[in-house]
Amino acid sequence: MRIALAFALLASACVSPSPSGTETFDSVRDRLETKPVRLYVGSEGSEGQISARRWTNAGWVAGDTQVMIEDGELKASADKTGRLTMSTFEVKVMPIDIPEEVFKKPAQLTDVKLVLTHAATGETTWTSDDAATATLNLDLDFQWTIKIDGNKTPLGTQHMPTMPINVTLSGDGELIDASLALHAEGELWDWAGLLQMTALQMSLSAEQTN
């Protein structure tokens, strides 16, 4: 009877909250395998670049534009084999100026956002229980509004080609950090034959919020 009671107490201790009333985890992997973790993407440590071209009377004019990351979030979990799944991914970008020659008026892309359309799972390499890398293929929607001479017009959602994202996880059982690198090339979106995105790069820094 005493042995059975001891085993019961041990099992309870393994899953019970800590004295402070919160769950405790042994490692990053333990936490991800126990429940999904939400991470916040901040502007600090995050950056991006868009390669685009615009149509002119002389033909296409191409250029690169640095973009500022406003904020974002992602939600990740792992199965018992350690494979990482990303169920939420959303990144907002600061307004992007459009050369005035395009519309002959001041113009911007605003409310720019990349949103994951469905969960993505990929092979994950764990160098320790607190460190891992993974590559996931994301299907993303590009949401945006165009602002011309102060007037805003929401534009149709663009379905982007599948994009690979490299994820690096670190931290411990209390706090998880992630760095993410996304890169894609090709005709990613086209608007009215006037503007085309031909490449997208993002380097993102994320930190656990729950």
For residue 87, give the CATH number of its domain.
Answer: 2.40.160.20
pLDDT digits (tens, 9 = 90+) for 160-192: 889 999 999 999 999 999 999 999 888 887 877
Pair of tokens at residue 150: 């102060």
Q: When comparing pLDDT for 71 and 61, which is higher? A: 71
pLDDT tens-digit map of 12-39: 444 445 455 578 999 999 999 999 999 9
Residue 142's domain spans which residues? 2-208
Total domains present in the chain: 1
pLDDT of residue 129 exceeding 90: yes
pLDDT for the residue numbered 62: 85
Q: What is the pLDDT of residues 135-164, one digit of tens each?
A: 999 999 988 898 888 889 887 788 888 999
